[in-house]
Structure 1
Amino acid sequence: MSRHDADLELALRLADAADAITSTRFRAHDLAVERKPDRTPVTDADVAVEDAVRELLAAERPSDVVMGEERGGTLDADRVWVLDPIDGTKNFLRGVPIWATLIALVVDGVPVVGVVSAPALGRRWWAAAGGGAFASDSAGERAISVSGVRELEDAYISTTDLKTWTEYRTRESFLRLVDATWESRAFGDFYQHCLVAEGAIDLAPEAVANPWDIAPFQVLVTEAGGRFTSLEGEERYDAGTVLTSNGHLHEAALRLLAP
């Protein structure tokens, strides 16, 4: 049991509301797509989900603060709900089913509840601080944990986009880690961090990450027995970079990823 169970129950209901919207709009012929100032796409579903979640939070937790990718907000409060209405918008608008709604509750600067809901995959992951990590799919619900891989040469690694390493970090640092590992893929976005939490892969570094992209994974991965830090080793979801791992490989990966 976790003292955050009531907040987790609410977060799961928020995810249900989000799924009802995203599932209807996925592959819709009239899906409206615009460009944000940073040139990333946003769909009418992104905005509709965030507005619906904000409305529910206003009714259920009126004193809490909300920070969302589409409507903004602040992280400077005791209790902040951090939202990414659709993580993987590029997949969503192209009809690729790997996208999810991300919901986190941050208390005193630390994520304590995380929910990741991917209805097109039929999958959901969740955790609350002190309560363990869980996932559900067509087979039902189960507790999850990270892998036991202890050598980089046996490790399975994923990132989102190699180009981001060239733009925000160094391509060479990422390739050093790739060369040291067994297999590399680009599962990308939320999915790779969920795969770390359930032990399917071992390392997921990203050269650039917004708070709403990764906040749920600080609690999900750590409750699954892994580690979550920035590429500088800080246990922060708002540092602009991230490495999730099974814990055993974390320090070795950070050394190779140093610019």
Structure 2
Amino acid sequence: MSAIDFGAFVADLATQSGRAILPFFRAHHAAEDKSQGGAYDPVTEADRAGESVMRHLIKRHFPAHGVLGEEFGNENLDAEYVWVLDPIDGTRAFISGIPVWGTLIGLSRNGVPVYGMMHQPFTGERYSGDGRQARYEGPNGPRTLRTRQTTELAAATLMTTTPAMFSGEQAQRYASVEKAVRLARYGCDCYAYCMLAAGHVDLVIESGLKPYDIVALIPIIEGAGGIVTSWQGGSAAEGGTIVAAGTRALHDAALRLLAG
């Protein structure tokens, strides 16, 4: 990394992308379906505007860095540092006027997530972490994030975007965890992981994720004391099946049901 103030740079990425995105929220703009015949996968001009701003700033300040983005593809992925961007994680919530979407800004070094931020410009909240610590900034003032110390499934609150993301054997395994927990809630995309880091929920279980859906969230969860892996217990950085938990004991308990 160069001598530029890294914290100020990421804050500027969040601020500038938020300015590009917010005019489209709760406005009457059409969403395109990029699914090519599969499940509805909306994209809006807000997604493109937010990512364009971030890519421009990254290229200006860190021209040797790579970029992996949802809307405009990949550049220089062999670089030591690669930015992993999702301008609107939760586009379905965005187009429905529900503020449980966020801009994900992640940075990997040699393939390992080392920094992440989730910015929600409508509510003015920022969740960030570097794997060692995690922070919240927002209307209630800044604070350090720590996960809740729940160790048993029977006492846990579980979140997933929708149970419909699971099918076949995956659906059965997920259902076995949901049956074991105290409470399950749906529909919050990246917000679910931030609520885990903030100590409000205990587990997040998902499937079919892409790197840009999860890379930024890994350093936040780990910095808050949590753990996030694939269902097989390996790295979550490539996406796929994801299980995040506030404690090692709870993660292990969920993994026993998910790994088969």
Query: TM-score, normalising length from structure 1?
Result: 0.93
Alpha-carbon contact 1:146-1:198 (below 8 Å) kept: yes
Amino acid at match of 2:88: I
Match of 1:27 in 2: 26
| 1:62 Cα deviation from its structure 2 partner | 0.9
Task: Please tell me whether residue 158 in structure 1 is matched to residue 159 in structure 2.
Answer: yes
Contact 1:4 1:128 in 2 (8 A): no
Secondary structure, in 3 states, of the residue corresponding to 1:199? coil
Quick one: which amino acid aligns to residue 151 of structure 1?
Answer: E
Q: 1:20 offset after TM fit, Å?
A: 0.8
Partner of 1:9: 8
**2:125 aligned partner, one-letter code:** R
**1:202 counterpart residue number:** 202
1:179 shift after superposition: 1.2
Residue matched to 1:179: 179
Give the secondary-structure state (helix, strand or coil) at the position aligned to 1:86. Answer: strand
Q: Is the contact between residue 116 and residue 219 of structure 2 (CA under 8 Å) also seen in structure 1?
A: yes
Q: Which residue of 1 aligns with 2:113?
A: 111
Letter in 1 for 2:127: W
User: 2:230 is matched by which residue type in structure 1?
Assistant: S
Residue in 2 aligned with 1:96? 98
- Could you say if the C-alpha distance between residues 97 and 193 of structure 1 is closer, same or farther in structure 2, counting changes exceeding 3 Å? same
Show structure 1 runs of 5+ residues with no match: none
One-letter code aligned to 1:26: F
Pick the aligned partner of 1:79 from 78, 81, 84. 81
The SS at the match of 1:194 is helix
Residues 57-106 of structure 1, C-alpha deviations (whole Å, 9 max, x = no match): 11111111111000010543311000001011111111111111000010
SS at match of 2:209: coil
Residue of structure 2 equivalent to 1:235: 235
1:211 match: 211
Q: Which residue of 2 aligns with 1:56?
A: 57
**Do the aligned partners of 2:208 and 2:239 also contact (CA within 8 Å) in 1?**
no
Aligned-partner Cα distance in 1 for 2:207–2:48: 26
The answer as to whether partners of 1:102 and 1:117 remain within 8 angstroms in 2 is yes
**Total equivalences in the alignment:** 254
Tell me if 1:258 matches 2:259: yes
Q: Which amino acid aligns with 1:118?
A: Q
Cα distance in 2 between the residues matched to 1:235 and 1:137:
30
CA distances 1:211-256 after superposition (whole Å, capped 9, x unpaired): 0001111110001001010111012310412111112300110111
CA pair 129-257 structure 1, distance change in 2 beyond 3 A? closer
- Quick check: 1:229–1:236 contact (8 Å CA) kept in 2? yes
The CA deviation at 1:6 is 3.6
Post-superposition CA distance 1:185-231 (Å, at most 9, x none): 11431011001111100000102211000111111000100101011
Q: Distance in 2 between matches of 1:24 and 1:94?
A: 15
* 1:5/1:155 CA distance change after superposition, 3 Å: farther
Measured at CA, do residues 242 and 107 of structure 1 come closer, stay the same or move farther in structure 2, by a change above 3 Å? same
Alignment RMSD: 1.8
Equivalent residues of 2:158, 2:203 under 8 A apart: yes
Paired letter, 2:195 = L
Q: Percent identity?
A: 36
CA distance in 2, matches of 1:152, 1:37: 35
Q: Which residue of 1 aligns with 2:145?
A: 144
Q: Aligned residue for 1:170?
A: 170
